[in-house]
Chain A
Amino acid sequence: MDVVVCVKQIPDPAVPGSLDPSAHTLKREGKLILDESDSYGVEMALQLVDAAGGGEVSLVSMAPNNEVSGLRTALAMGAAKAVLVSDPALQGSDSLSTAKVLAKAIGRIGSPDLILTATESTDGYTGTVPEQVAELLGLPSVTFAKHVEVAGATVKVQRQTEAGYDEVECSLPAVVSVTAGVVEPRYPSFKGIMAAKNKPVDEVTVADLGLDASSVGWAGARQEVVDVAAADARQAGEIVEDDGEGHLKIIAFLEGLKVI
């Protein structure tokens, strides 16, 4: 079974983000890392290929400046190869443009049995790319999967809902978006890290994908940031060290609000 995982390389979320003052896009010029949300999809893909007894896990990613750091992490986990789309024309791309790029990049890999994504990225979190990719490829999809099994040409999913979960079945090929926590992502081994350095990364441009530059980036987004403002800041109140009586402070606070 061949699985493609869509992965995003993002600025380290531990470092406070900032916006480019003129373009109003998230600054992404530094080192990028594998979005933790995508590590679940990578792990899931590796497990499913193992269980199927053969096949390959491939990655597709879109990133500025031919950034490969995050891809190398996923290759070190065990993915076989990657397609990286990097092109200055992609700056300002919205979720629909991103999906158009990813769908074309998946096409370069061939005809995978399964395409895995996260439910949303950590930095942009629009949350529509999985469905947009599926629609562009003419594939069925199951979103918000918290458990995934493949039996023959069918994928069985426990799909998160507001009230609990649904058992969903879908024919392959299909797109499945997985929630965080669906599996425990492995740490790359030293051997894996060394092997990843020599794994193939197919670096392509928008033109290589046969996409018109006007359908992506700023031109394709058909939206414009018109204002950036500071939100009303919430003021910190009283902060006290617990001296063994901290709970009484809480009781007094709740009494003051007349909720107890």
Chain B
Amino acid sequence: MTLAKVWVYAEGADSKPTSLTLELLTKARELGGTVEAFYAGADAAAVAPVLGSYGAAKVYATSDLSGALPGPAVAAAMAAQIASESPDLVMFGMTYEARDVMGRLSVKIDRPVLTNSIDVSLDGSSVRCTTAIFGGNTLVTTAFSGGGPALAAFRPKSFAAEEGGAGAGEVVSVALPDVGATGAARVLARHVEESTGPKLDEADIVVSGGRGLGEAGNYHLIEEIAKLLKGAPGASRAIVDAGWVPYSYQVGQTGKVVKPTVYVAAGISGATQHMVGMKGSKNIIAINKDKEAPIFSISDLGIVGDVHKVLPKLIEALQARG
């Protein structure tokens, strides 16, 4: 049993679909007879062929947003299209933009949302989403009831992206309705925080630091080890909130989800918020002076010790290897 029609809210960067979008399209092919994408932005023609090669038969695309935050107008455009196309399920990624659009849309069509999902399945025509709670210890599966479309948002890396399907990626232009004062938020300027080395959510090795580093000035230890291992530096929410490093470094529920070959957690106790973002790593090394720290319960190698002593020696040893 499959659904007649599944939509994916597609997002792009630099006129390429995001990997999360391709993950969702791959899963959508399993669930729906017809897979279609909805894309907000003027460069749909550039992204549509790729969306098609991952299964999207059609790509509904709005015109340029002219600097408006997407939520109100895109949700209005989607609601109008949903009324005529009747998808059974609309899949979103857990991103800033998608969450905004989804929240607005749920009110417009008076349908509930499920977010933070890591899996989706069907029971007959009933859509079921699974979420990991309590730091990933417990899996809760929730079924939508009361008619479609089901609105569900998924965490990155919940599904593997694979090309396939017979999608044509045909672009269908849809109008952006005038939403009046509701759409008043305008982007005046964009700032990109430059980073070197591999991207945090794509790196094969991630080295993260937390409050146990003591002060912002010690974060360079994390950056040095990440560089020596050709990995990316990351951070717990605690030190991002404290302003030691930018938000783009944050690993966790509200930050990046990472699944590298090796994850090194230094001075991180292992709050639920952090663990859900990294527990999918293949190998976890933790260094923490508190032997009761929850991070040790999921570590393959745990060093109970002072990061101020262990990290400098680790740097020396790695440098000595050349």
Please list the residues of chain A having a beta carbon within 8 angstroms of any beta carbon in chain B. 13, 16-17, 19, 24, 94-96, 99, 119-120, 125-132, 134-136, 138-144, 146, 159-171, 174, 179-181, 221-231, 233-234, 236-242, 244, 246-251, 253-254, 257, 259-260
A143 and B302 contacting across the interface, CB-CB below 8 Å: no
Q: Answer yes or no: B182 CB below 8 A from chain A CBs.
A: yes
- A253 interface neighbour in B69, B102, B193, B285, Cβ under 8 Å: B285
CB neighbors of A among B297-313 (8 A): 297-306, 309-310, 313
Instruction: Give A168 to B108 CA distance when docked, in angstroms.
Output: 24
Instruction: Give A21 to B75 CA distance when docked, in angstroms.
Output: 37
Instruction: Give A236 to B294 CA distance when docked, in angstroms.
Output: 10
A251 and B146 contacting across the interface, CB-CB below 8 Å: no
B262 and A139 contacting across the interface, CB-CB below 8 Å: no
Instruction: Give A143 to B69 CA distance when docked, in angstroms.
Output: 9
Instruction: Give A146 to B189 CA distance when docked, in angstroms.
Output: 15
Closest chain B residue to A234, Cβ basis: B298
A-B interface, 7 closest residue pairs, ranked by CB to CB distance from nearest: A242-B305, A131-B103, A181-B241, A128-B103, A237-B300, A222-B146, A239-B302
- B104, B107, B113, B304: residue with the most chain A Cβ atoms closer than 10 Å: B107
B184 and A227 contacting across the interface, CB-CB below 8 Å: no
- Closest chain-A Cβ to B109's Cβ sits at a distance in Å of 10
- Closest chain-B Cβ to A42's Cβ sits at a distance in Å of 16
A164 and B183 contacting across the interface, CB-CB below 8 Å: no
CB neighbors of A among B279-322 (8 A): 279, 283-285, 287, 291, 296-306, 309-310, 313-314, 317-318, 321
B104 and A131 contacting across the interface, CB-CB below 8 Å: yes
Closest chain B residue to A233, Cβ basis: B137
A230 and B139 contacting across the interface, CB-CB below 8 Å: yes
A127 and B115 contacting across the interface, CB-CB below 8 Å: yes
Closest chain A residue to B289, Cβ basis: A242
Sampled A-B contacts (12; CB under 8 Å):
A99-B107, A125-B254, A140-B184, A141-B185, A236-B302, A237-B302, A239-B304, A242-B287, A246-B303, A250-B310, A253-B300, A259-B229
| Chain A contact surface mostly | mixed
Instruction: Give A169 to B287 CA distance when docked, in angstroms.
Output: 43
Given A96-B106, A170-B186, A251-B318 in contact, is the A224-B309 Cβ separation under 8 Å? no
Given A144-B96, A247-B314 in contact, is the A239-B116 Cβ separation under 8 Å? no
A19 and B138 contacting across the interface, CB-CB below 8 Å: yes
B96 and A181 contacting across the interface, CB-CB below 8 Å: no
Residues of A within 8 A of B187 (CB): 159, 166-168
Given A181-B243, A231-B132, A240-B302 in contact, is the A140-B182 Cβ separation under 8 Å? yes
A223 and B114 contacting across the interface, CB-CB below 8 Å: yes
- Closest chain-A Cβ to B94's Cβ sits at a distance in Å of 8
Instruction: Give A244 to B313 CA distance when docked, in angstroms.
Output: 9
Residues of B within 8 A of A246 (CB): 287, 303, 305, 310, 313
A129 and B139 contacting across the interface, CB-CB below 8 Å: no
Proximity bits, B249-285, A CB within 8 Å = 1, else 0: 0000110000001101000000010000001000111
Residues of A within 8 A of B69 (CB): 141-143, 159, 168
Please list the residues of chain B having a beta carbon within 8 angstroms of any beta carbon in chain A. 13, 69, 71-72, 75, 94-96, 99-100, 102-104, 106-108, 110-116, 123, 128, 132-134, 136-146, 181-193, 204-205, 229, 237, 240-243, 246-248, 253-254, 261-262, 264, 272, 279, 283-285, 287, 291, 296-306, 309-310, 313-314, 317-318, 321
Residues of B within 8 A of A221 (CB): 112
| New contact pairs (8) apart from A239-B302, A249-B303, CB-CB < 8 Å | A96-B111, A168-B186, A171-B184, A180-B237, A240-B302, A247-B317, A250-B314, A251-B318
- Closest chain-B Cβ to A236's Cβ sits at a distance in Å of 5
A161 and B190 contacting across the interface, CB-CB below 8 Å: yes
A126 and B132 contacting across the interface, CB-CB below 8 Å: no
Given A136-B107, A167-B189, A179-B247 in contact, is the A125-B116 Cβ separation under 8 Å? yes
A140 and B181 contacting across the interface, CB-CB below 8 Å: yes
A253 and B301 contacting across the interface, CB-CB below 8 Å: yes
- Closest chain-A Cβ to B215's Cβ sits at a distance in Å of 16
- Closest chain-B Cβ to A231's Cβ sits at a distance in Å of 5
- Closest chain-A Cβ to B132's Cβ sits at a distance in Å of 6
Instruction: Give A135 to B298 CA distance when docked, in angstroms.
Output: 41
- Closest chain-A Cβ to B17's Cβ sits at a distance in Å of 14
Instruction: Give A135 to B302 CA distance when docked, in angstroms.
Output: 48
- Closest chain-B Cβ to A157's Cβ sits at a distance in Å of 8
B184 and A170 contacting across the interface, CB-CB below 8 Å: yes
Closest chain B residue to A253, Cβ basis: B301
B139 and A231 contacting across the interface, CB-CB below 8 Å: yes
A230 and B247 contacting across the interface, CB-CB below 8 Å: no
- B94, B132, B309, B313: residue with the most chain A Cβ atoms closer than 10 Å: B313
A242 and B75 contacting across the interface, CB-CB below 8 Å: no
B141 and A226 contacting across the interface, CB-CB below 8 Å: yes
Closest chain A residue to B241, Cβ basis: A181
Closest chain A residue to B287, Cβ basis: A246
Residues of B within 8 A of A13 (CB): 272
Given A96-B112, A128-B103 in contact, is the A226-B143 Cβ separation under 8 Å? yes
A231 and B242 contacting across the interface, CB-CB below 8 Å: no
Instruction: Give A242 to B307 CA distance when docked, in angstroms.
Output: 10
Residues of A within 8 A of B264 (CB): 250
Residues of B within 8 A of A129 (CB): 103
- B237, B261, B314: residue with the most chain A Cβ atoms closer than 10 Å: B314
